[in-house]
Amino acid sequence: MPDTTEPLFFKSPFDLFIDHAEGAYLYTRDGRKILDAGGGAVVVHIGQGREEMARVAADVVSRINYIVPVFDSAERTALVERLKRWTPPGLTRFYFTSGGSEAIESAIKFALLCQKTRGRGTRTKIISRQFSYHGNTLGALSAGHNLRRKDYEAVLIDWPKIPPSFCYRCPWGKTYPGCDIDCANALEAEILKQGPDTVAAFLAEPMMGSSGGSVAPVKEYWPRIAEICRRYDVLLIADEVMTGFGRTGRRFGVDHWDIRPDILVGGKGLTGGYMPMGMVAADATLVEQCERAGADFMFFTYSNHPLACALANKALEIMERERLVERAATVGARMGARLKEDLSGHPMVGDIRGIGMFWSIEMVRERGSKIPYPPDQRVTMRVIDAALEQGLFVYPSRGMAGPAGGDAVMITPPFVIGDDEIAFITRTLRTAFDTVMASL
């Protein structure tokens, strides 16, 4: 067996070879056991190694491997029927992809198509927020503000951005955590500045994921955003790739605010990592309007893949049967309380925030002023390395310290963890913080 994965395009910061996984644990080839408190890349909701998922996979592959996405299948029908019970009311038309970026790209294109078929072809701008990651394709990168853009700036679309919903370096000069709806009002100002006739959609995560570290806006934020979008006929796209399917303790992040986006994008937890899959859910009236206008929406070769549909359907069935969304809320609340109790006094901890199974810890050089560590100290990666040394994986994030970044780790475990795992997470992180502080 080869010892290295070097022939791939990208370098790994880790020297880990995973042999198998079970529940919330990864097992390396050299016999180490690692608690995956990142849920991989915030993906693993139902836990790994479930027999019934393996049986579904074997059954589907033995009957059907591939059909063109325009053919229907029992797998697709069953998933669509189940998803209608998960998505906000009215969002009953679906488009499946192979991952989150493809789904974001498709949602953006669908929003443009909706505006065009309404006779508003001049509406071509997608407004998004600073500090957002929406994916890795060119359209998704254009809507994102992330270090990952820098090599492609020359070809990215120059879409407008509004301030984030919550920030230590508040653009309105407020003191954390005193942010209010000014960030939401900034959307209206931006629409007016650009000219409403040029704006197709507003795209944002209900709660910021990896580009901010589990940042939820104030309670007035989303209702105000929804109202502004309605007033100016701007479509509202919720990027729920990270927050969707129970991660925040509700089915979707938007459910915390009772708002209904026009388009909702999902991925990650949809199959819990058992298959690559993304999803766009759209308001049925929008799809019907496009259909009436004769618009054609091209599929990807692997759209609606039967195996992906079947595994997503089973993953959601398991979440329903085991009440895992409710579990994410209750066990997640216990985990958050424990993180705060055990770690908020640590000298390098600037903030602990989150909800459900969607928590982050921000590391800062000065707690009071939230002054971040210099980026070249690579504090996030050092904390992750120190935790891994003791058998814990947490997911890297950026803090809210400003454009240069800031340091944070996400604690986003599978929903099946219990109190023993929570105790291990807090204990191990404490030691990791001590180790890193001593080394700085």
Ligand X SMILES: Cc1ncc(COP(=O)(O)O)c(C=O)c1O
Instruction: Using the minimum distance from each CB to ligand X, give the nearer residue, 39 or 209.
Output: 209
Q: What does the alpha-carbon distance between residue 353 and residue 412 come to, in Å, rounded to a whole number?
A: 12
Q: Which SS3 state, helix, strand or coil, does residue 162 take?
A: strand
Instruction: Evaluate whether 364 touches 405 at the Cβ level (below 8 Å).
Output: no
Question: Least Å distance between CB 278 and ligand X?
Answer: 6
Retrieve residue 314's tokens: 């089973």
Instruction: Using the minimum distance from each CB to ligand X, give the nearer residue, 60 or 242.
Output: 242
Length of the chain: 440
Q: What does the alpha-carbon distance between residue 409 and residue 147 come to, in Å, rounded to a whole number?
A: 17
Instruction: Using the minimum distance from each CB to ligand X, give the nearer residue, 196 or 396.
Output: 396
Question: Least Å distance between CB 53 and ligand X?
Answer: 19
Site track 115-134 with ligand X (rule: CB under 6 A), x = hit: ------------------xx
Instruction: Using the minimum distance from each CB to ligand X, give the nearer residue, 88 or 253.
Output: 253
Place of tokens 């063109």: 68
Instruction: Evaluate whether 279 touches 267 at the Cβ level (below 8 Å).
Output: yes
Q: Does the footprint of ligand X cover residue 104 (CB under 6 A)?
A: yes
Q: Which residues contact 80 (CB under 8 A, 6 or more apart)?
A: 94
Other beta carbons within 10 angstroms of residue 159's beta carbon come to 20
Q: Does the footprint of ligand X cover residue 210 (CB under 6 A)?
A: yes
Q: Does the footprint of ligand X cover residue 166 (CB under 6 A)?
A: no
Q: Does the footprint of ligand X cover residue 100 (CB under 6 A)?
A: yes
Instruction: Evaluate whether 21 touches 49 at the Cβ level (below 8 Å).
Output: yes
Instruction: Using the minimum distance from each CB to ligand X, give the nearer residue, 182 or 262.
Output: 262
Q: Does the footprint of ligand X cover residue 212 (CB under 6 A)?
A: no
Question: Least Å distance between CB 41 and ligand X?
Answer: 6
Question: Least Å distance between CB 133 and ligand X?
Answer: 5
Among 36, 105, 190, 205, contact with ligand X (rule: CB under 6 A)? 205
Instruction: Using the minimum distance from each CB to ligand X, give the nearer residue, 272 or 421.
Output: 272
Question: Least Å distance between CB 309 and ligand X?
Answer: 17
Instruction: Evaluate whether 95 touches 110 at the Cβ level (below 8 Å).
Output: yes
Place of tokens 């042999």: 19
Contacts of 337-342 spanning 24+ positions with Cβ under 8 A:
338/422, 338/423, 338/426, 339/411, 339/425, 339/426, 339/429, 341/426, 342/426, 342/427, 342/430
CA 190 to chain centre: 25
Nearest residue to ligand X, scored by beta-carbon proximity = 100
- Mark the segment that binds ligand X (CB under 6 A) among 150-158, 202-210, 252-260, 334-342: 202-210
Positions 15 through 54 that interact with ligand X (CB under 6 A): 41
Instruction: Evaluate whether 333 touches 420 at the Cβ level (below 8 Å).
Output: no
Question: Least Å distance between CB 262 and ligand X?
Answer: 17
Site track 245-284 with ligand X (rule: CB under 6 A), x = hit: ----------------------x-----------------
Question: Least Å distance between CB 203 and ligand X?
Answer: 10
Instruction: Using the minimum distance from each CB to ligand X, give the nearer residue, 48 or 214.
Output: 214
Instruction: Using the minimum distance from each CB to ligand X, give the nearer residue, 53 or 208.
Output: 208
Among 73, 101, 106, 271, contact with ligand X (rule: CB under 6 A)? 101
Instruction: Using the minimum distance from each CB to ligand X, give the nearer residue, 103 or 290.
Output: 103
Using CB under 6 A as the binding criterion, the count of chain residues that bind ligand X stands at 16
Q: What does the alpha-carbon distance between residue 46 and residue 152 come to, in Å, rounded to a whole number?
A: 36
Sheet holding 25-28, edge to edge: 18-22, 25-28, 33-36, 392-393
β pairing state of 199-204 and 235-239: parallel
Instruction: Evaluate whether 162 touches 87 at the Cβ level (below 8 Å).
Output: no
Site track 213-252 with ligand X (rule: CB under 6 A), x = hit: --------------------------x-xx----------
Instruction: Using the minimum distance from each CB to ligand X, give the nearer residue, 207 or 331.
Output: 207
Question: Least Å distance between CB 353 and ligand X?
Answer: 17
β pairing state of 161-162 and 125-129: parallel
Instruction: Evaluate whether 252 touches 268 at the Cβ level (below 8 Å).
Output: no
Instruction: Using the minimum distance from each CB to ligand X, give the nearer residue, 164 or 209.
Output: 209
Retrieve residue 432's tokens: 């990791």
Q: What does the alpha-carbon distance between residue 250 and residue 12 come to, in Å, rounded to a whole number?
A: 33
Q: Does the footprint of ligand X cover residue 428 (CB under 6 A)?
A: no
List of residues contacting ligand X (CB under 6 A): 41, 99-101, 104, 133-136, 205, 209-210, 239, 241-242, 267
